[in-house]
Amino acid sequence: KAGVTQTPRYLIKTRGQQVTLSCSPISGHRSVSWYQQTPGQGLQFLFEYFSETQRNKGNFPGRFSGRQFSNSRSEMNVSTLELGDSALYLCASSPDSNTGELFFGEGSRLTVL
């Protein structure tokens, strides 16, 4: 069974630009969550989607948004990039059992210059 796939793995943007990151969950998983990992703030929850609906949301500004498609694939978008948005963005999928066991992708490393 293929794991969680995130694209792109690495990207460099400049301040003010926007970025879209993609995540393909494990086949059969309908929940997709996004986390931001930085050296200073650690791992922080962004949002979770289930069956195309945002089910949970973290404490991030509205510049961070996401969506989920009918095939469970998910995208997250960050608009008006700031230097502090430089981070590893991790996507995780899980089955419907709601036990909190997440399967993570390798992440998309975003550098904002």
Partner 1 sequence: AQSVTQLDSQVPVFEEAPVELRCNYSSSVSVYLFWYVQYPNQGLQLLLKYLSGSTLVKGINGFEAEFNKSQTSFHLRKPSVHISDTAEYFCAVSRIQGAQKLVFGQGTRLTINP
State yes or no: residue 94 binds partner 1 (CB under 8 A): yes
Residues 69-88 that bind partner 1 (CB under 8 A): none
Q: Whole-angstrom Cα distance, residue 88 to residue 109?
A: 4
| Angstrom distance (rounded) from CA 38 to CA 86 | 8
Which candidate, 19, 17, 30, places its Cα nearest to that of 103?
A: 30
The CB-of-80 to partner 1 minimum distance in angstroms stands at 25
| Contact map string, positions 5 to 44, toward partner 1, x by CB under 8 A | --------------------------x-x-x------xxx
Contact predicate 79/62, CB 8 Å = no
Name the residues that contact partner 1, by CB under 8 A: 4, 31, 33, 35, 42-45, 48, 50, 55-56, 58, 90, 92, 94, 98-107
